[in-house]
């Protein structure tokens, strides 16, 4: 009985004398024959549906509601990592031999490429008028002196530090004094500069607005977590903000808790909107990514140096295995030429740097 009489597809044989070419042609014919059968398209409906949902999740992330539990912000914080679902689903589709699941995976692949493909390219340009560095040095940093020396050797003209504490303040002042003759510190944030500073003032990012009343007493943070100063450059005055916004947490009771951080975003948004200087740089630990809708009060007015002049995603936290870019350099009125992440120090965050020009 032949294969066709048994109900099976005949096996193509390579034509004599064709060698590898004949085998490849036979393999293509077999693959097309298998794909034309209805069975592979009926297999793996759950995998196919999961692939479509993954693609829609990435494309329509802005439509995900933030209540309850700030789900939308949570998804947007880790949005690039949803691309890892593609190889997982592809492995399942190949194991099930599901043509429908493989075809459905085109949607998340295209969605991820549309959202993040451009970030994989190197967008940096040579030359810069000023180099700025921001770093959450970490209150629990076991080596503040080493951290200070590494930052002084970074080549930064302006250096913004966050999470400074009284126990280590003297160390940073001592180690940075030789490289940076000018500095200012307010609360837990400070700025060191090779160029003169003036008009320094605090920005209240914790204690105003209706959201402040929603913060439990044990979640309230220290005041003076942001400052604004003017750096005198050869091209004119530059307004610089050094910022450390409130923490975010994920817990079963509140979901993605961001109230403290969101208060700071609102305050900074108002301060930047009222800023009279046309040239502004903001450096700091914002405890959020530029994809997070909650930061729109800032990102609608300023541009991300990493997005415009970086290479890759520039993840900064946690330093041991970075998964989120929580530390940002935002600009307005100046051009970012290059943005990069510096090597790890004793902090749980990585430092970020950018070269800017007029």
* Tens digit of each residue's pLDDT (9 = 90 or more) over 115-129: 999 999 999 999 899
Q: Are residues 51 and 136 in the same domain?
A: no
Q: Are residues 116 and 135 in the same domain?
A: no
pLDDT tens digits for 341-353? 999 999 999 999 9
Q: Are residues 212 and 89 in the same domain?
A: no
Q: Contact 48/98 with Cβ under 8 angstroms? A: yes
| Within a domain: 12 | no
Taking the alpha carbons at both ends of the chain, their separation in whole angstroms is 82
Q: Are residues 60 and 139 in the same domain?
A: no
Q: Are residues 347 and 282 in the same domain?
A: yes
Q: What is the number of residues in the chain?
A: 358
Q: Are residues 216 and 267 in the same domain?
A: yes
Q: Are residues 330 and 227 in the same domain?
A: yes
Q: Are residues 242 and 313 in the same domain?
A: yes
pLDDT tens digits for 233-279? 999 999 999 999 999 998 877 789 898 999 999 999 999 999 999 99
Which stretches within the chain are classed as H helix? 3-6, 19-36, 39-42, 45-59, 71-77, 85-96, 99-104, 106-116, 144-152, 166-176, 259-274, 296-299, 305-309
Residue closest to 291 by CA, chosen among 270, 260, 259, 313: 313
Of 120, 155, 173, which one is at a domain's C-terminal end?
A: 120
Confidence tier at 284 by pLDDT (50, 70, 90)? very high
| Within a domain: 317 | yes
Q: Which domain holds residue 80?
A: 39-120
Q: Are residues 92 and 220 in the same domain?
A: no
**pLDDT at residue number 38:** 62
Evaluate if residue 330 carries a pLDDT over 90. Answer: yes
CA distance 212 to 49: 42
Quote the percentage of the chain above a pLDDT of 90: 77
Q: Are residues 76 and 170 in the same domain?
A: no
Q: Structural domain tally of the chain?
A: 2
Of 59, 89, 120, which one is at a domain's C-terminal end?
A: 120
pTM of the model: 0.85
């Amino acid at each position: 009985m032949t294969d066709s009489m048994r109900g099976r597809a005949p096996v193509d044989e390579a034509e004599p004398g064709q060698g590898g070419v004949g085998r490849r042609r036979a393999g293509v014919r077999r693959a097309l024959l298998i794909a034309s059968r209805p069975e592979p398209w009926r297999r793996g409906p759950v995998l196919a549906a999961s692939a479509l949902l993954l693609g829609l999740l990435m494309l329509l992330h802005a439509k995900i509601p933030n209540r309850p539990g700030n789900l939308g912000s949570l998804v947007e914080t880790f949005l690039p990592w949803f691309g890892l679902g593609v190889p997982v689903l592809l492995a399942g589709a190949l194991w099930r031999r599901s043509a429908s699941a493989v075809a459905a995976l085109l949607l998340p692949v295209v969605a991820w490429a549309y959202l993040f493909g451009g970030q994989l390219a190197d967008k940096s340009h040579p030359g810069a008028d000023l180099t700025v560095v921001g770093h959450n040095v970490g209150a629990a940093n076991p080596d503040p002196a080493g951290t200070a020396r590494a930052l002084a050797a970074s080549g930064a003209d302006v250096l913004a530090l966050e999470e400074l504490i009284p126990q280590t303040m003297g160390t940073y002042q001592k180690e940075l004094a030789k490289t940076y003759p000018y500095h200012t510190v307010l609360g837990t944030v400070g700025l060191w500069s090779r160029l003169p500073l003036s008009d320094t003032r605090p920005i209240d990012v914790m204690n105003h607005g209706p959201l402040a009343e929603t913060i439990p007493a044990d979640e309230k943070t220290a005041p003076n977590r942001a400052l604004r100063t003017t750096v005198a450059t050869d091209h004119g005055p530059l307004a610089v903000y050094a910022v450390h916004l409130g923490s975010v947490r994920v817990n079963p009771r509140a979901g993605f808790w961001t109230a403290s951080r969101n208060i700071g975003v609102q305050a900074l948004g108002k301060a930047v909107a009222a800023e009279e200087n046309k040239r502004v740089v903001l450096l700091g630990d914002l405890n959020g990514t530029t994809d997070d809708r909650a930061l729109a009060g800032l990102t609608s007015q300023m541009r991300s140096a990493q997005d415009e002049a970086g290479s890759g995603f520039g993840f900064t936290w946690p330093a041991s295995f970075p998964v989120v870019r929580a530390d940002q350099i935002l600009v307005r009125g100046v051009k970012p030429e290059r943005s990069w992440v510096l090597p790890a120090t004793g902090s749980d965050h990585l430092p970020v740097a950018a070269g800017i020009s007029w």
